[in-house]
Amino acid sequence: MRYSAAALLRNAIGGQRHWRPAWRFPRPRTRYDVVIVGGGGHGLATAYYLAKRHGIRDVAVIDKGPIGLGNTGRNTTVVRSNYLLDPSAALYEHALKLWEGLSQELNFNLMFSQRGVVALAFTRHELTEMERRVGALKLNGIDSEMLTLDELRRRVPLLNLSRELRYPVLGAMVQPRGGNARHDALAWGYARAADALGVDIIQSCPVSAIRVERGRAVGVETAQGCIEAGRVAVVAAGHVTTLMETAGVHLPIQSYPLQAMVSEPLKPMLDTVIMSGLVHCYVSQSDKGELVLGAARDSYVSYAQRGSAHINAATIAALLELFPVLSRVRLLRQWAGIVDVTPDLSPIIGPTEVRELYVNCGWGTGGFKATPGSGWVFAHTIATGAAHALNAPFGLERFARGALIDESAAAGVSH
Ligand code: FAD
Ligand code: PYC
């Protein structure tokens, strides 16, 4: 859908009364080939790739609210692929490569900005871990470099590199192709493209249960009645465990609040993403000028989309330790999302013990960056009934086999 300048002007002065919605608002039909529960980025991307790559268009994406208002619309938009272990590096790099052409593919400006992601090291241990990770990334053909303090000073002039700090910065690693994107544009771009291929997007329709008959998923119970399905795919992030329990599938996941905040808009001052594990805070500057920041998840399991005050205070203290120049800046707002955390901090993507029931979850604090890759491999799995090579290591059965993919050192957020 393209708008001419004249149409834009007409809509601007006409109160947007003639603006066409970017996707339809259909009533749910009684049956679909595939029902996807969860209209976040991952669910919408899955629907798009099912229709686009596999020709499966009899698909509904059902969300309990408006699409994209879960973690997709609450996250701090860091995109990178600098994970240590081969399976994760391959999966996240596949996603990053898709990001690089996604605005063009969806004909939707995702404001994807490859401004680089810099992670700071404050201890010898952190430095050694980063050196090891950079080496592993290079072996996997993924861009990544160590930065000296001089290089860091030139790149981030306002960063406090004083030796007098509680924990002086010792060095850093950078992924130049990493960066940020506009979070809700990702949901909207996939929604519009999926809708155009015939996918029904059903909003404000909570799913209360998955219907299982003789060991096979046959549909879902929703606020708008039962919907039959040939296949059911659940992509519900922090709410996945309760939903999957209705089908008798127990997931090794705990749900925690993860909070973030933004400052008032400032003149351009930071043209990269800074991540910092020990003095714990990460920060980037949005195109509007706001600083977007966050840090640790809450330490207790909860569904309260607030986040606790001490995490907030510690995040701000860490930010000011890194950037004392910001001490008089005001915060604009704060919020939280509910993240789904697995024991090895890696996602679960694949079939379940219930036939025709698929799950994609466990992205925890780091799934935004993976959205295109996740949707791509999940669509393959649903379409073919078997995992793609990229998501085969991420099956639910890895927890029974002990084949964990421990990415705790590469997580952006402490756990
Ligand atoms: P969601 O976007 O949460 O979508 C799930 C959808 O399921 C929701 O829309 C919800 O309404 C729906 N749903 C749930 N239950 C039901 C039901 N019963 N019936 C119908 N619908 C249902 N990741 C990064 O890579 N980089 C970051 O910088 C980053 N920062 C983050 C900062 C914060 C504060 C948070 C909270 C998360 C952050 N993440 C980050 C993680 C990232 O946001 C998530 O991993 C990712 O967005 C998950 O996408 P999703 O589509 O699986 O989930
Ligand atoms: O996974 O890179 C990440 C991240 C940054 C902030 C929250 N998660």
Helices 41-54 and 183-196: crossing angle, nearest 10°?
A: 30
Structure token pair of residue 350 = 């694949």
User: Does ligand 2 have an atom closer than 6 angstroms to the CB of 238?
Assistant: no
- pTM here is 0.97
3-state secondary structure of 275: strand
How much is the pLDDT for 243?
Answer: 98
CATH topology for 22-77+183-253+344-411 is FAD/NAD(P)-binding domain (3.50.50)
**Distance from the first to the final alpha carbon of the chain:** 43
Ligand nearest to the CA of 256: 1
What spacing in Å lies between the alpha carbon of 29 and ligand 2's midpoint?
A: 38
As to burial, measured by CB atoms within 10 angstroms (0-12 exposed, 13-18 middle, 19+ buried), residue 160 is middle
Alpha helices per DSSP H over 270-397:
309-322, 371-384
What spacing in Å lies between the alpha carbon of 32 and ligand 2's midpoint?
A: 35
Nearest CA to ligand 2 atom 2: 412
User: Does ligand 2 have an atom closer than 6 angstroms to the CB of 282?
Assistant: yes
35 CB-near residues (< 8 Å, 6+ apart): 59, 60, 62, 219, 220, 227, 229, 231, 232, 233
Q: 114-178+255-341: what CATH class?
A: alpha beta
Q: What is the pLDDT along the chain (415 residues), one digit of tens a residue?
A: 456 788 778 888 888 787 889 999 999 999 999 999 999 999 999 999 999 999 999 999 999 999 999 999 999 999 999 999 999 999 999 999 999 999 999 999 999 999 999 999 999 999 999 999 999 999 999 999 999 999 999 999 999 999 999 999 999 999 999 999 999 999 999 999 999 999 999 999 999 999 999 999 999 999 999 999 999 999 999 999 999 999 999 999 999 999 999 999 999 999 999 999 999 999 999 999 999 999 999 999 999 988 899 999 999 999 999 999 999 999 999 999 999 999 999 999 999 999 999 999 999 999 999 999 999 999 999 999 999 999 999 999 999 999 999 999 888 887 7
Phi, psi (rounded to 5 degrees) for 262: -130, 150
Phi, psi (rounded to 5 degrees) for 263: -90, 175
CA distance 322 to 272: 14
How much is the pLDDT for 5?
Answer: 84
Taking the C-alpha atoms of 174, 176, 180 and 181 in order, what is their torsion angle to the nearest 10 degrees? -160
How much is the pLDDT for 266?
Answer: 98
What spacing in Å lies between the alpha carbon of 277 and ligand 1's midpoint?
A: 22
In tens, the pLDDT along 140-167 reads: 999 999 999 999 999 999 999 999 999 9
Instruction: Write out the E strands in 111-202.
Output: 117-121, 145-147, 171-175, 179-180, 200-202
User: Does ligand 2 have an atom closer than 6 angstroms to the CB of 366?
Assistant: yes
In tens, the pLDDT along 103-132 reads: 999 999 999 999 999 999 999 999 999 999
Nearest CA to ligand 1 atom 40: 366
In tens, the pLDDT along 10-20 reads: 888 888 787 88
Nearest CA to ligand 2 atom 4: 412
User: Does ligand 2 have an atom closer than 6 angstroms to the CB of 365?
Assistant: yes
How much is the pLDDT for 307?
Answer: 86
How much is the pLDDT for 40?
Answer: 98
As to burial, measured by CB atoms within 10 angstroms (0-12 exposed, 13-18 middle, 19+ buried), residue 404 is middle
Instruction: Write out the E strands in 45-170.
Output: 59-62, 78-79, 117-121, 145-147
Residues with CB under 6 A from ligand 1: 37-43, 62-65, 69-72, 74-78, 206-207, 235-237, 239, 243, 258-260, 294, 337, 339, 363, 365-369
Structure token pair of residue 108 = 């939707």
CA distance 204 to 13: 31
CA distance 170 to 222: 54
Residue 184 near residue 39 (C-beta atoms within 8 A):
no
Chain centroid to CA 186: how far?
10
Q: So where are the chain's domains? A: 22-77+183-253+344-411, 114-178+255-341
